[in-house]
Each structure stands twice: as structure tokens, then as C-alpha cells.
Homo-oligomer: A and B are copies of this chain.
């Protein structure tokens, strides 16, 4: 099954204790699609400016990623600049230039509308709804969101939640959305808002998935060198949905495996800036780390 992702394609400038990069390829749709393309055909929906580099279009195309849905409009591409704390657990936004994101119009190419899996990355819920309304044959719809939308567009967000299968957010966002401090209580409440699966991304602590009466919890892959956590969440989602796209139905055991695959993909992302590491790995690398991870987390 092929996947459509709607989100941002951006230029990121990032400072961590390991170094810095300036105007490197970033954005939620970028990280997601580079990750999911390890598993399946992926189609991007995003808006960039006329300054967007041909090299990056080639990078996408080289991975079989469909860029027909990337709208190139007059103006500059979205830019984000951020700095991470020493232990990489906190980040400060130094600069946000919305640029072309101020005038996003979403009209999906016809070839996109019949895809089976849709990922609505963290953008305005109104755009997420608009994309969703154009899809005709989706079997699985997943979404991300953030505190800003939970607070400012609560009504649209709830409308959206009723239509998606999976919500993938972090702990703080889950608390804000549910009004519960406890992660189990919080996710039980969110499951009642619409999604049949909720995943809480816990950064260097891994991820936990709730589905029906099932809970799957796993730590992160222990890494000795983390360079830049940017894009971990989106590439996690890319790995998760990428793995699911290779299956016909999704049992709870498939969701477990998908969670682990998402985890492994994200562990590669953070080992370098931008998508540098991610573009250098193959499915075999993920498989071998997956096997190691199984032995690290095994309980007899």
C-alpha cells in the first residue's frame, strides 16, 4: 500500500552540543517520507518557495517519493531555527519564518486520492481536514498535532479526531488534550475521542501504544551518539506506517512490530543532522538493529 503524507518541507538551522547546521533539509513531511520510503511508495503534499533546491527534489525522487503534490509558490521556503539543551531533552525556537506557509492551498493530485494510508503531520487542523476530505479510499489515517493547535483549534481538532485511526503525539500534548496527568488515563480518554490507536512518543524513553484493551510499551534503542533529535517523531511515524503498509491487515502484534520499526528508524535519524543518516541506511540496517533491540528488551 502506498502512503500520502501532508506536512512541511523546510529549511532547518539547528544547534546542538555536537555541532550545528545551517539551512539543511527538514520539515515533518521530509522526515516522514524519507523514513517511510524505506518500506513503500510515498507521496508528499507540501508547499515550498521558489528558493527550494533542485538537489532536494532529486533526493526525494531518488527514493521513489512522489513530489507531484509539492506546490512550488512564489516566495521563500519555510525556515526554522532551533537550539537544543545539553542533554537534548529541551529545545528553544530561535527563529520561525513561515514564508510560503502563510498561503497554503491544498489540492491533491488525482493519483494521490486513492492511496490507502494517510499521514497528517503536525499542521493546522483545517488543512488536515481539507486533505482528508479529498482522499477517497483510505484504509488507515494517522495524525500528529501539537499544543498550539490543541489550544487554538480545539473544535476542528476534535472533528478531525473522530475521523482518524491513529493519533501520534507526545506526553505533554496528550495531557493537554485529555486533561489527565496519568498516561494510561490520558490515552483511555483520547481513545474515546475517535482514534482506535494512540501512540505516545517519549523521545529517548521510547514509545507506548494503546489500542482497545491492549498496551504495548518499549524503551528507545540505546544510542551512544545522539547528534540531533529533530525529526525523530516524524521519522518514527514514517517507520511505523511504512511497516504497516507492507501488510494487509493490522493485528495487535503487527502494531507492536510497527512500533518497534518506528523506534528503529527514529534511532537512525537522531544519529546525524537532517536526514543525513536516514538516507544512508537500507532496510537491512533497520532489520539488524531490530534484532539487537529484541535482545536488549527481551524478558524471559
Q: Are A182 and B299 in contact (CB under 8 A)?
A: no
Copies in the complex: 2
When chains A and B are docked, how far (Å) is the Cα of A175 from the Cα of B89? 14
Q: Are B86 and A218 in contact (CB under 8 A)?
A: no
Q: Are B294 and A297 in contact (CB under 8 A)?
A: no
Q: Are B208 and A215 in contact (CB under 8 A)?
A: no
Distance of A202 from chain B, by nearest CB (Å): 7
CB interface residues, A 113-132, toward B, < 8 Å: none
A184 interfacial contact with B, CB 8 Å = yes
The interface bits of chain A over 267-300 (1 if a CB of B lies within 8 angstroms of the residue's CB, else 0) are 0000000000000000000000000011011111
A224 interfacial contact with B, CB 8 Å = yes
Selecting from A5-13, A50-58, A253-261, the interface stretch reads A253-261
Known: A181-B87, A205-B205. A297 touches B217 (CB 8 A): yes
Q: Which residue of B lies closest to A221 (CB)?
A: B217
When chains A and B are docked, how far (Å) is the Cα of A293 from the Cα of B300? 11
Instruction: List chain B residues, Cβ under 8 A from A222.
Output: 183-184, 208, 215, 217
Instruction: List chain B residues, Cβ under 8 A from A202.
Output: 205
Distance of A117 from chain B, by nearest CB (Å): 21
A219 interfacial contact with B, CB 8 Å = yes
A111 interfacial contact with B, CB 8 Å = no
CB interface residues, A 203-244, toward B, < 8 Å: 204-206, 208, 215-219, 222-226
Known: A202-B205, A205-B205. A223 touches B184 (CB 8 A): yes
Q: Are B260 and A296 in contact (CB under 8 A)?
A: no
Q: Are B256 and A298 in contact (CB under 8 A)?
A: yes
Distance of A289 from chain B, by nearest CB (Å): 12
Distance of A180 from chain B, by nearest CB (Å): 10
Known: A219-B208, A219-B219, A222-B217. A257 touches B299 (CB 8 A): yes
Given A217-B222, A253-B300, A297-B299: 19 more A-B contacts, CB < 8 Å: A17-B181, A87-B175, A87-B181, A88-B181, A182-B225, A184-B223, A202-B205, A205-B219, A206-B219, A208-B222, A215-B222, A215-B296, A216-B297, A217-B219, A217-B296, A218-B299, A256-B298, A257-B299, A260-B299
Interface residues of A (CB under 8 A from B): 17, 86-88, 175, 181-185, 188, 202, 204-206, 208, 215-219, 222-226, 253, 256-257, 260, 293-294, 296-300
Can you name 10 A-B pairs with beta carbons within 8 Å? Answer: A183-B222, A184-B224, A205-B219, A215-B222, A217-B222, A217-B296, A218-B297, A256-B299, A257-B300, A297-B297
